[in-house]
Amino acid sequence: MPDTIEPSYRELTVDQLPIALEMRYKMVRELSGEDLDVIAPGWRDRYDEFYGGLVAQGRATVFVAEIGDDPVAVAAVYLLDNHRARIYGRPSAYLSNVWVSPQYRRRGIAAALTRRAIDWAKTKGCEVIRLRSSDMGRSVYASVGFTPTDEMEIYLR
At residue 69, what is the residue type? D
Confidence of residue 56 (pLDDT cuts 50, 70, 90): very high
Distance (Å, whole) CA 30 – CA 10: 24
Q: Where are the domains of the chain?
A: 8-141
Contacts of 76 (CB under 8 A, 6+ apart): 20, 51, 60, 61, 62, 63, 95, 96, 97, 98, 117
Q: pLDDT (tens digit, 9 = 90+) per residue, 22-39?
A: 999 999 999 999 999 999
What is the structure's pLDDT at 3?
Answer: 58
Q: CA–CA separation, 106 vs 88, rounded Å?
A: 39
The pLDDT mean for the chain works out to: 94
pLDDT for the residue 2: 45
Task: Decide if pLDDT at 1 tops 70.
Answer: no
Identify the three-state secondary structure at position 141.
Answer: helix
Class of domain 8-141: alpha beta
Give first-to-last CA distance, the chain, whole Å: 45
Task: List CB contacts of 124: < 8 A, sequence separation 6 or more.
Answer: 79, 91, 93
